[in-house]
Amino acid sequence: MDDQKYTKPYKAHVLVLPYPAQGHINPMLQFCKRLVTRDIKATFANSVFISKSMHAHPGTSITFETISDGYDDGGYEQAGSAEAYLEMFRIAGSETLADLIKKLDASGHPVDALIYDGFLPWALDVAKQFGIVGVVFFTQSCAVNSIYYHVHKGLLPLPLSGKNVSLPGLPFLENWETPSFVYIYGSYPGFYDMVVNQFSNIDGADWVLFNTFYELEQEVLDWVAKLWRVRTIGPTLPSKYLDKRLKEDTDYGINIFKPNSSACMNWLNSKPNSSVVYVSFGSMAELGEEQMEEIAWSLKDSNFNFLWAVRASEQSKLPSKFIDDPTLEKGLIVSWSPQLEVLEHEAIGCFVTHCGLNSVLEAICLGVPMVAIPQWTDQGTNAKFVEDVWCMGLRTKADEKGIVRRGELECCIKEVMEGERGREIKKNSSKWKTLAIEAVDKGGSSDKNIDEFAAALAQSHR
């Protein structure tokens, strides 16, 4: 992870800046690993707080540095609100990013390109100050970002009027199938500004990269490619779960939460093939107690084996009668799980998830059918695609209080696990798995795009 591994001259040097959250760090770090195999030097800049909190073992010759988000001792939680956090990150981040670029230049490793998370558009302004290539990396789907672009340009006025949304390259969407920041106008104004402002200076970016693959979102990608120099470079999973060409790439390499690996795998090893329902809502979602209770009893009533990852901070929301129920021998609850290992396990028959893009791509690459319980942000739109476009899962329907009831969830789980529609869903899951692997394998759509990008970087090397 130090520069000693670069004994031969590298072709270019990229500085990579993710938004400090697990679902943003993982794909950008995986992309770095692909660049390193093409003799591109990669420096990865986490926030100070994330750097202190994470468990890291990337196993590649990537250099790690830090910048400040202004809250080095507590990150987002210390800020108290999204608005305060994002404004301070812009100020402190711009200053410390510039300092880092100067430091790397002085060390004899000048930066040729800055690859920055779309959530941090101010990073492009810093790149332009230094005359280096600016590359925006989107960690949400092209479909979702197209919606945000139309909002930013005033082409999709808010609040939404009528009942439906029709945009180029996208299926017909009912209003509630758009991202929650669009559909529920005025909710989470800080995050709304963040996702819409991704496009405030995008015309100045030299490249626009999407963590998806062309075959998955072909129509909307063709439309967006008319606007910018767009390339798909995903899915960004460790090579072990895709093309297997990067022998040491067996894990994401950075975990903000430490997984209960042995407990999960030992338990799964004792279960029959396709008999387990795996439930996880990621690193950020916070479900209410009522929703947690409905999920808990639906898992028990479905009578399937289940593995449920419930973060330590969320476990107090589990119903006490559920935890103490002596008949729960079919279930295992852990605070965090090694998600890729779990999804790859032959015992898994269904993945119940909030439908964040990383979780969706993981399910696609491992051919696991999904049941979606979208919570907010892009998840409702992703769930629309999972059910109606990619046809590899089912969406649950919430009641008037926004709660998915136990009967609804139980019905969806049973349909996916053993129903007629479930058989078709499993076939489609296998189809998308094959296409995802082909995209990143030698000569695939994403592989060619990464080759092209790396070659262009080499030409800009200082």
Contact 253, 56 (CB under 8 A): yes
List residues bridging with 370 in a β-sheet: 351, 393
| φ and ψ of 237, to 5 deg | -100, 160
Strand order in the sheet with 207-210: 63-67, 40-47, 12-17, 113-117, 133-138, 207-210, 230-232
Identified catalytic residue from 69, 117, 243, 447: 117
Establish whether 24 is a catalytic residue. Answer: yes
Q: Is 109 a catalytic residue?
A: no
166: number of Cβ within 10 Å: 10
What gap in Å lies between CA 102 and CA 224, rounded to an integer?
34
- Choose, from 24, 109, 345, 354, the residue flagged as catalytic: 24
Q: Tokens 């100070």 belong to which residue? A: 48
> How far apart are the C-alpha atoms of 349 and 105, rounded to whole Å?
51
Measured distance CA(300)–CA(321) in Å, rounded: 12
DSSP letters of 125-166? HHHHHTT-EEEEEE-S-HHHHHHHHHHHTTSS-SS--SSEE-
Residues assigned a catalytic role: 24, 117
